[in-house]
Structure 1
Amino acid sequence: MAQWYLFLPQVRLGVDELTLRACTAEASGFDGVALLDHLRTPMAPASPVWEAMTLATWIAAKTQRLQIGHLVLCDAFRHSSVLAKQAVTLAEVSGGRFDLGLGSGSMPDELADFGFGTATGRERVAALQRTLEDLSRYWADQVPAPREPIPLLLGGRGPRMLELVRRHADWWNLPATHLDDLPRLMPQIGDARASVQQMVGFIGAGADAEAVIGKSRRRYAQLGSGLICARADELIDHFGRLGSQGVQRFYVWFSDPSPETIAEFAETVIARS
């Protein structure tokens, strides 16, 4: 059975509003929630963004069942020894509900502007490899150690990232902008399980389809095929096709992440899939 996560970028909304959406997802039947990790909002630098690990801890305290993670934590933002300690602590306080999602950093300008250097993509992947190797060592040396293994998620499509997925990851994530690559990449991820991050313009019961589609495309046109605007039955078919290709987890990113949208999607798509 597929796992359903709400992708909840912590931008533009207040902490209380984000918490409400996470709690709505839990009450409605989602399995988890995932945040992003940036020091300024991508493509909207004037919009506020909350720190990723702090907010994840807050949401863990406000929920009981949801798995909590990130798509994805930026490797450069935290020394691996500190990240190891943070991950163990968040796993402990959440009762084992923390997934560690890691990436090499997708916005070089952000890294440079905030003092994290000007490493090339190849250099950032090499640094991520060192972090992954260090985490196992720190978890063995630090006290306390994790009570249970902390699930590790990695993204990326390049050969070096896929090698890290095969060697280290429990989960591999593919953004829906690259769904055409799924059949080619699935055989390259080893024992990792596959997830997909999908932007959804959800056309709920009684909604004006043209209005939903128009608003979604105006806000997220840059995602191209990574945005699907559809009603519940069409979405059931869409996610079902991905499931038949081996995808075991869906990170649903709503163009309108209202509590009402989250609850109706869970009732009409998740419950019937």
Structure 2
Amino acid sequence: MIEVAVMIEGQDGLSWPLWRRVAEVAEGSGFAGLYRSDHFVGPDGPYKDALELWTSLTWLADNTERIEFGPLVSPVSFRHPVITAWQAGAVDSLSGGRLRLGLGAGWQRREHEAFGFDLLGTERRFARFAEGLEVITALLRSGGPASFSGDFYRLDGASISPRGASPSGPPVVIGGNGERRTLPLVARYADEWNAVFIGAERFRELSERLDALLEESGREPRSVRRTLMTRAVYGRDEREVERLLGDRERGELQADGLLVGTAEEILAGLRDLEAAGVERVMLQWLDTDDLERLEDLGREILPELGA
């Protein structure tokens, strides 16, 4: 049965009162999880409130009981993988094993230039990401000291504790749709693949490609969970849907993988994704000033999905 979680943009005006309210809605309405981005600022527009990722997740671990949570995704380009692994192990332990550790290479040029981090060109950026994944998984999954020597990072008999609530540490999530760079890294390192803004047909194609890569690497395809992050444009009736759409075309948004419409239409879209192999959808909710509508969405669709 497909699960539904909430995803918000952590740099888009996220204050402590709002974070508490979003957590309350996600936990109380029956959503499977709560995820957030990890950015200093958006790619354009003004600077807004932006709670630091691990501070906010530490609070969430200690102030919720049921929901899974994590970053979608945290970049190694401005977070050192040793510190990320250390923080993740502690937060996962605090939460009783509810952290899903989403990791990425980094992509947004504006924040890297503003704060003095080197984004690098695409090839070196992904080489650094691969080394970061090697470091993080070595520290979180190994019971003994870890050593590694690369171009970007080094370990020499290093270990961290706690490594999380389970001996293998928190599950590693790798996000992205790239067949040449991202999916091979998923096949090698990830416990979960999180696709981004694609429809059911494209998801199925990429999932089949991931199956082949996993088999080539000696892993069972079922060992990697399949999830999708996409936006929800939900209206309680057709008039509200049209108001929310404005001058945007419903069909164009749906072609880009967005879930658009009333509860019945959102449910139909979720069923299509479930048939394509999606196990959890992280619904990106941009209207954080209207969380009552998010509660209504949960009330309408989650019982239909057996949540």
Alignment of 1:37-52 (within 5 A): 37-52=38-53
Q: For residues 178 and 237 of structure 1, what CA distance do their matches in structure 2 show? A: 13
Q: Under a length normalisation based on structure 2, what TM-score does the superposition of the two structures give?
A: 0.81
Worse overlay, 83-92 or 250-259: 250-259
Q: Are the structure 2 counterparts of residues 198 and 231 from structure 1 closer, same or farther at C-alpha, using a change threshold of 3 Å?
A: same
Deviation at residue 223 of structure 1 after TM alignment: 9.7
**2:80 equivalent to 1:62:** no
Alignment of 1:37-116 (within 5 A): 37-116=38-117
Q: For residues 118 and 259 of structure 1, what CA distance do their matches in structure 2 show? A: 34
Q: For residues 174 and 286 of structure 2, what CA distance do their matches in structure 1 show? A: 24
- What residue number does 2:206 align with? 185
- What residue number does 2:186 align with? 165
Q: For residues 5 and 155 of structure 1, what CA distance do their matches in structure 2 show? A: 16
SS of match in other structure, 2:66 = coil
On the 8 A contact 2:13/2:49 being kept in 1, the answer is yes
Q: Are the structure 2 counterparts of residues 266 and 225 from structure 1 closer, same or farther at C-alpha, using a change threshold of 3 Å?
A: same
Q: 5+ unaligned residues in a row in structure 2: which ranges?
A: 143-158, 215-220
Q: Paired residue for 2:164, among 128, 146, 160?
A: 146
Alignment of 1:105-144 (within 5 A): 105-139=106-140, 140=142, 141-144=159-162
On the 8 A contact 2:193/2:226 being kept in 1, the answer is yes
Q: Under a length normalisation based on structure 1, what TM-score does the superposition of the two structures give?
A: 0.90
Q: Deviations over 1:42-71 (max 9, x none)?
A: 332332322111111112222111111011
- What residue number does 1:264 align with? 296
SS of match in other structure, 1:247 = coil
Deviation at residue 226 of structure 1 after TM alignment: 4.1
**2:216 equivalent to 1:198:** no
| 1:22 aligned partner, one-letter code | A
Alignment of 1:8-27 (within 5 A): 8-10=8-10, 11-27=12-28
SS of match in other structure, 2:23 = helix
Higher alpha-carbon Rg: 2
Alignment of 1:228-267 (within 5 A): 228-257=259-288, 258-267=290-299
Q: Are the structure 2 counterparts of residues 146 and 77 from structure 1 closer, same or farther at C-alpha, using a change threshold of 3 Å?
A: same
Q: Once superposed, what is the RMSD of the aligned Cα atoms?
A: 2.3
Q: 5+ unaligned residues in a row in structure 1: which ranges?
A: none
Q: For residues 186 and 206 of structure 1, what CA distance do their matches in structure 2 show? A: 33
Q: Are the structure 2 counterparts of residues 31 and 114 from structure 1 closer, same or farther at C-alpha, using a change threshold of 3 Å?
A: same
SS of match in other structure, 1:144 = coil
On the 8 A contact 1:198/1:250 being kept in 2, the answer is yes
SS of match in other structure, 2:77 = helix
Deviation at residue 232 of structure 1 after TM alignment: 0.5
- What residue number does 2:195 align with? 174
Q: Paired residue for 1:213, among 204, 228, 245?
A: 245
Q: For residues 236 and 88 of structure 2, what CA distance do their matches in structure 1 show? A: 37
| 2:165 aligned partner, one-letter code | R
SS of match in other structure, 1:53 = helix
Query: How many residues align structurally?
Result: 270
On the 8 A contact 1:166/1:188 being kept in 2, the answer is no
Q: For residues 187 and 177 of structure 1, what CA distance do their matches in structure 2 show? A: 15
Deviation at residue 103 of structure 1 after TM alignment: 0.5
Deviation at residue 225 of structure 1 after TM alignment: 2.2
